Amino acid sequence: MKTTRSRTLFQRANLFIPGGVNSPVRAFRSVGGDPLFIKQAKGILLEDVDGNKFLDYVLSWGPMILGHANSHVLKAVISATKRGTSYGAPCEGEVELARLIVKTVPSIEQVRLVNSGTEAVMSAIRLARAYTKRDSILKFEGCYHGHADHLLVKAGSGVATLGIPDSPGVPESFARHTLTAPYNDIKATEKIIHKHANNLGAIIVEPIAGNMGVIPPSDEFLPWLRMITKKYGILLIFDEVITGFRVNGGGAQALYKVIPDLTILGKIIGGGLPIGAYGGTKDIMQMIAPAGPVYQAGTLSGNPVAVAAGLETIRLLQSPGVYKDLEKRSKELAEGLGEAAKQAKISYYQTRVGSMLGGFFTEGPVSDYAGAKKSDTVRYAKFFNGMLNHGIYLAPSQFEAMLLSTAHTKRHIQQTIAAAQKVFPTLR
């Protein structure tokens, strides 16, 4: 595979951009080699600057659930752009997107649009602290909630990929208000809650962990979190930046029938353009300025182009059979990969919820961050590069999800399985 142009661009990028990339995992450091620079994308095909083409299972880390450059979304974006790219004032599109979110996501009665998932989480936690008048929050090891100072404590995603336990530059006084517990571990979490209940304002969780690989919740975990938070007057926050509109039209909370107090959204609700949102019950959300005293603002919040892309994406996802078809294709792919690993006698523990797939090179099951870290990342790097050489673009990290879109067809799935059948035997 020729990568001359990508290598040249990466060398040039390193002169002007720290590490040569604008987000750490893109650097390919955990899988070896240099990153590929993408020239264009259509459907599920990525083409890099050297002309190599790949079937894409990263999907811009989640937003492209309809595939790249969907014609309906592009039409909506072009139409919105012709009317102006930013107003710094209210527009009709943001009202309609908010209405669709409220209508679809069970926990949300009112929603505030922002510019990224990190911003949404930061704002929701400020709101939760103000509402409960308590300073501490609890998060789970390996769950990633953006790069705000107080959340880079035992975070997953790029932090796990790069082997950074916490981040320099975060004052101890910030981090001391962030408690951590093992994901899926009710006993350990209960001990922490009992000890700190009087000062614990919120518990934030990825209802399906997607930043330490894909790890579903146990049957008891989310219902128990809902019960214990209500008991102690703690707000429960679901970070559905990945799962929102992906595993179900109403997110993981609709899938598992557990309703949080606040929900974080992003990725899919922008249809590939920068966006984030946080929402919840009206009594909580009415504390946000200008309705209430909790301040949060943003120049590009409710951006007319981003909301146009998000609106069209959500409308298309509401077409009959969309999630049923995604489930069918995802199941077919998971079964094919599992069989390929089995035939090659490779230990490969699989996880899946809807169109989110995970795979760990471990001997036993994975249910938390400690288990995820036992995965053989050297073997994953070989798997990644082997699949890349066969035209399959996976996340350049063991600790990210494999994602499907409505543009993935049966032929694409079969092509991917055929590649895996060739690559798995090379991992022995």
Domain 4-69+321-427 indexed as CATH 3.40.640.10: no
Q: Which amino acid is at 10?
A: F
**Can you give the pTM of this predicted structure?**
0.95
Task: Identify the active-site residue in 34, 48, 185, 239.
Answer: 239
Q: What CA–CA distance (Å, rounded) separates 98 from 186?
A: 34
Candidate list 144, 278, 323, 380, residue with the active-site label = 144
Check if 144 is active-site.
Answer: yes
Choose, from 56, 154, 183, 267, the residue flagged as catalytic.
267
Q: Where are the domains of the chain?
A: 4-69+321-427, 73-317
CA distance linking residue 55 with residue 45, whole number of Å: 5
CATH number of 73-317, picked from 3.40.50.150, 3.60.21.10, 3.40.640.10, 3.90.79.10: 3.40.640.10
- Please indicate whether the domains covering 4-69+321-427 and 73-317 agree at the CATH topology level: no
Nearest to 183 by CA among 224, 231, 227: 224
| 71, 77, 83, 88 alpha-carbon torsion, rounded to 10° | 170
pLDDT in tens, the chain (428 residues): 999 999 999 999 999 999 999 999 999 999 998 999 999 999 999 999 999 999 999 999 999 999 999 999 999 999 999 999 999 999 999 999 999 999 999 999 999 999 999 999 999 999 999 999 999 999 999 999 987 766 766 544 444 444 444 667 777 776 778 899 999 999 999 999 999 999 999 999 999 999 999 999 999 999 999 999 999 999 999 999 999 999 999 999 999 999 999 999 999 999 999 999 999 999 999 999 999 999 999 999 999 999 999 999 999 999 999 999 999 999 999 999 999 999 999 999 999 999 999 999 999 999 999 999 999 999 999 999 999 999 999 999 999 999 999 999 999 999 999 999 999 999 99
Determine whether 50 is an active site residue.
Answer: no
Contact residues for 224 (Cβ-Cβ < 8 A; gap 6+): 186
